[in-house]
Amino acid sequence: MNALKEQRVATLRDDDAVISILAVDNPSMFSAVTDGFDLLLLVVTDEDQRTNQQYHYIKDNCRIQERWLSISELSRLIVHGEHRNLIYWILKGEILLDKNTYLEGLRHRMLEFPPDMREHKLLIEFARFLRRYLDSKEYVLYDHLLDAYNDILEALHHWARIVIIEAGIHPEITVWRQVKNINPGVYKLYEELTLSNETLKQRVQLVLLACEFSVMSKMERCCKPLLDVLSSREEAWSLQELQQIDKLSDIQFELPLILNKLVKKSLTKEIIYTVDEQVSTFEIRYLNS
Output the pLDDT for position 76.
87
Residues 7 and 89 in one domain: yes
Q: Any idea what the CATH number is for the domain that residue 238 is in?
A: 1.10.10
Question: Taking a C-beta distance cutoff of 8 angstroms, is the pair 162, 175 a contact?
Answer: no
Residues 169 and 254 in one domain: no
Q: Any idea what the CATH number is for the domain that residue 11 is in?
A: 3.30.460.10
State which amino acid sits at residue 168: G
Geometric angle at alpha carbon 124, from 118 and 125, rounded to 5°: 85
**CB-based contacts of 59, cutoff 8 Å, min separation 6:** 4, 7
Q: Where are the beta strands (DSSP E) in 204-280?
A: 237-238, 268-276
Measuring CA to CA, which residue among 157, 185, 190, 147 is closest to residue 84?
A: 157
Residues 191 and 105 in one domain: no
- Buried b / exposed e across 192-226, counting CB within 10 Å, b at 16+? bbeeeeeeeeebbbbbbebbeeebbebbeebbbbb
Among 222, 242, 272, the domain-final residue is 222
Phi then psi dihedrals of residue 4, to 5 deg: -60, -45
Residues 86 and 101 in one domain: yes
Residues 189 and 237 in one domain: no
Measuring CA to CA, which residue among 100, 199, 216, 122 is closest to residue 166?
A: 122
Mean pLDDT, 10 residues at a time, over the chain (289 residues)?
A: 90 94 84 87 94 93 95 89 83 94 94 92 95 96 97 96 94 89 95 96 96 89 96 95 92 94 94 72 89
Residues 17 and 106 in one domain: yes
Residues 159 and 237 in one domain: no
Residues 210 and 268 in one domain: no
Measuring CA to CA, which residue among 102, 85, 103 is closest to residue 94?
A: 103
Sign of CA dihedral 132, 138, 153, 130: positive
Measuring CA to CA, which residue among 256, 145, 258, 255 is closest to residue 202?
A: 145
Number of Cα atoms under 13 Å in the Cβ half of residue 199: 6
Residues 247 and 270 in one domain: yes
DSSP label at residue 144: -
> 102 is in which domain, residue-wise?
2-112
Q: Any idea what the CATH number is for the domain that residue 175 is in?
A: 1.20.120.330
Output the pLDDT for position 277.
62
Residues 157 and 206 in one domain: yes
Among 94, 112, 130, the domain-final residue is 112
Number of domains in the chain: 3
> Within a 10 A sphere around the Cβ of 55, how many other Cβ atoms?
11
Output the pLDDT for position 27.
77
Among 60, 90, 112, the domain-final residue is 112
Question: Taking a C-beta distance cutoff of 8 angstroms, is the pair 265, 258 a contact?
Answer: no
Residues 210 and 253 in one domain: no
pLDDT tens column, 18-55? 999 999 998 776 677 888 899 999 999 999 999 999 99
Residues 137 and 40 in one domain: no
